[in-house]
Amino acid sequence: MGSAGRPRVRYAFAMPLLTLAVGLAAMLAASPARADFRVCNATQNLVGVGIGYRAKAGWITEGWWHIEGSSCKTLIEGPLSSRFYYLYAEDAERGGRWDGPINMCVAEKEFKIAGVADCVARGFQRAGFQEYDTGEQASWMVQLTDDPATGGVPAAPGTNSQ
């Protein structure tokens, strides 16, 4: 068969691979890049989550996001505007929590609270939030695991989710 048949054999294998590569590249290019603050619950229990951050008007805390076991939720959509975010979470079934040393305000029901001072005097509860330094990334993800939920120790480290 000589050398004339060899290129056809190479192309016979190369074309499907090239088609697959082009298709994957097109799908990735068509998918918008996610930029947000997400929390993933790696436990099997329902978790309630609150977040704190500094806005132009001052400190804000918001909650509660209810995150089922083995799932994620976006708490802040779009590119992050602050470098530091603060997270507090409670295991709704076992009573554990993910907390930290930064005191901020929370409420029993859904809340959006301006300011972090005088929580109790203003009719709120005070909770210790864990600080996450996003390094001014546009996107960040925190994963809550079983270990912290048992004793109220700091949550798992966050990561740049890009």
Give the residue extent of every domain in the chain. 35-134
Mean pLDDT of 62-80: 95
Q: How far apart are CA 130 and CA 136, in angstroms?
A: 17
| Average pLDDT of the residues of the chain | 80
Which stretch of DSSP H or E encloses residue 65? strand 58-67
Residue 101: partners with Cβ closer than 8 Å, 6 or more residues away: 128, 130
Q: What is the DSSP string of 129-142?
A: EEEEE-TT-S-EEE
Cα separation of 25 and 29, whole Å? 6
Q: Is 161 exposed, middle or buried (0-12, 13-18, 19+ CB in 10 A)?
A: middle
Task: Give me 53's structure tokens.
Answer: 């951050």
pLDDT band at 136 (very low <50, low <70, confident <90, very high): confident
Q: What is the pLDDT of residues 10-60, one digit of tens each?
A: 444 333 333 333 343 433 333 445 689 999 999 999 999 999 999 999 999
pLDDT of residue 125: 98
Pairing of strands 84-91, 97-98: antiparallel
